[in-house]
Amino acid sequence: MKILLVNPPNCGRSIPEEEYGIDTIKMIFRGEPLALEVIAGNLYGHDVAIADLKVTPDFLEKTLEQFEPDLVGFTGVTCEANTVVRLAGEIKRNSDALVVVGGHHASCDPAFFNHDAIDYIVMGLGKLSFRELVDAIANRTVGSGVPGVAKTNPGGSLDYVRRAYSHADLVDDRPPRYDLVAAHRDRYVMSGVGGKVGFVASAYGCTHRCSFCSIPNMTDGRYLIHRPEAVLRDMQLLGEVPVVRLVDANTFGDLENALSLGRCIIESGVKKAIVADVRAETVTRHPDLFTLWKQAGLASVVIGFEEISDAGLTRLNKRSSVAVNIEAMGILKDLGIRVIGDFIVDPEYTEADFDALERFVAAHAIDLPLPSILTPLPGTPLHREMRHKITIQDLDYYTFTNAVCPTRMEPTLFYQAYAGMLKRFLKHISHG
């Protein structure tokens, strides 16, 4: 079977730009389509191609003509959902290919894709379930149902079997197909961290229940860890790429595995600058772990600080505290590990709140502060909590740089404050 996997183009819309002429809010990161590379890795025996439309936005039509796929698979986050449906419609009008949709939005709100341009919806981690779907189609046994996969039923309800995720869903022995996007390798960068970056999956899912996060939906709340040997193999497959971004909501969430992986990297002699996610309390509880990982190449960590008050952290079910966040930063700074800090700007922010966030960032010399606007994604606890406040339903605006709920400040002033703060943060990065 000929299978085309598609990463949708950058397609999110901008209220600051469209409504107020503010065009300074720009993307500083472009990563490779790891989800598709991983899916492709388990499609051995089939002819597989990846169309990364974030790099080549106009490449889909040409690829359809030349490759003539039997099946087209899309991934996509919430702000890309409308575009995925549109592109699926184009494929249906111009080919006989089956269309399958997966990714974060499909996992959070599968009913959105219950559309006549789409044949199947893959929910959650899809490396194994997508392969099972392909096999069922090839063997004409798809009617029996694949757990975690729904056959679309436009106008009706989706009927599917929930998947019981386990380590088997990782398919550890099948590495990602990095070769399918090798032509774009120089375009995959992470500004402020080191330029050209390769992605390596170290785990999927999360057991924490932060109210705004969609990641638990990918594995039904389970935390599934790749074997250290598999992670090291994938790092080595990236060849001369100097920076590795470990893809895992909480890279050090399992202490024993984190120790094992760190030692494995050191013993291998692999020399990469590593970027990884970490929870602050992991740093404060296990500082020796980060001494080890500094030796392994850990250069930067991403910490979801989110809020600068304990009350705000509680509202988001973050299960952390400002004191722990500050202590973690001190430990990391002493080790020479750069801190990338995620922060959430609430639409309820006042000018004083923006000022307070800037003072916090400056006081703790956070290397790369990344403020996003609070966005209640469908399928998250936050969305259920804030549903009645949402005034913008068009998913194109769910980019984390738009307020989809009313702002307390006059909107022009809110976006000017947000854009100005972001510009100052980025200026800080460029000189840091």
Residues 214 and 120 in one domain: no
Predicted confidence at residue 61, as pLDDT, reads: 87
Alpha helices in 75-218 (DSSP H): 81-94, 104-108, 127-138
Would you say residue 420 has pLDDT above 50?
yes
Residue 166 inside a domain? The answer is no
The Cβ of residue 270 has, within 10 Å, a number of other Cβ atoms equal to 16
Residues 394 and 272 in one domain: yes
Predicted confidence at residue 59, as pLDDT, reads: 84
Residues 140 and 216 in one domain: no
pLDDT, the chain, mean: 93
Express each pLDDT in 279-334 by its tens digit.
999 999 999 999 999 999 999 999 999 999 999 999 999 989 999 999 999 999 99
In this prediction the pTM is: 0.94
Residues 286 and 248 in one domain: yes
Q: Look up residue 233 and give its two tokens.
A: 């193999």
Residues 116 and 260 in one domain: no
Residue 172 inside a domain? The answer is no
Cβ 211 vs Cβ 317: under 8 Å: yes
Would you say residue 241 has pLDDT above 90?
yes
Cβ 13 vs Cβ 393: under 8 Å: no
Predicted confidence at residue 432, as pLDDT, reads: 36
Binned at pLDDT 50, 70 and 90, residue 30 comes out as: low
The CATH code of the domain that includes 98 is: 3.40.50.2300
Which of 33, 94, 102, 98 lies closest to 64 in space, CA to CA?
A: 94
As to burial, measured by CB atoms within 10 angstroms (0-12 exposed, 13-18 middle, 19+ buried), residue 339 is: buried
Predicted confidence at residue 26, as pLDDT, reads: 58
Rounded average pLDDT over 191-220: 89
* Number of domains the chain is built from: 2
Which of 118-132, 172-186, 187-201, 383-397 shows the lowest mean pLDDT across its residues? 187-201
| Nearest-5° Cα angle at 7, 3 to 12 | 150
Would you say residue 196 has pLDDT above 90?
no
Which residue is it, tokens 């922010």? 349
Amino acid of residue 190:
M
The alpha-carbon radius of gyration of the chain (Å, integer) is: 21
Which of 149, 152, 143 lies closest to 124 in space, CA to CA?
A: 149
Express each pLDDT in 373-391 by its tens digit.
999 999 999 999 999 999 9
Residues 223 and 84 in one domain: no
Q: How far apart (Å, rounded) are the C-alpha atoms in residues 159 and 150?
A: 6
Q: What share of the chain has pLDDT > 70, as a percent?
A: 97
Find the largest Cα–Cα distance for the chain.
62
Residue 278 inside a domain? The answer is yes
Residues 249 and 204 in one domain: yes
Express each pLDDT in 346-362 by its tens digit.
999 999 999 999 999 99
> Containing domain of residue 416, as a range?
188-430
Binned at pLDDT 50, 70 and 90, residue 429 comes out as: low
Q: What share of the chain has pLDDT > 90, as a percent?
A: 85
Would you say residue 162 has pLDDT above 90?
yes
Instruction: Annotate 372-405 with b (16+ C-beta within 10 A) or e (fewer).
Output: bbbbbbbbbbbbeebeeeeebeebbbbbbbbbbb
Predicted confidence at residue 29, as pLDDT, reads: 47
Cβ 209 vs Cβ 381: under 8 Å: yes
| Nearest-5° Cα angle at 258, 256 to 263 | 100
Q: How far apart (Å, rounded) are the C-alpha atoms in residues 49 and 37?
A: 10
The CATH code of the domain that includes 403 is: 3.20.20.70
Contacting residues for 314 by C-beta, under 8 A, at least 6 apart = none
Predicted confidence at residue 233, as pLDDT, reads: 98
Residue 181 inside a domain? The answer is no
Binned at pLDDT 50, 70 and 90, residue 58 comes out as: confident
Which of 56, 45, 79 lies closest to 6 in space, CA to CA?
A: 56
Predicted confidence at residue 430, as pLDDT, reads: 44
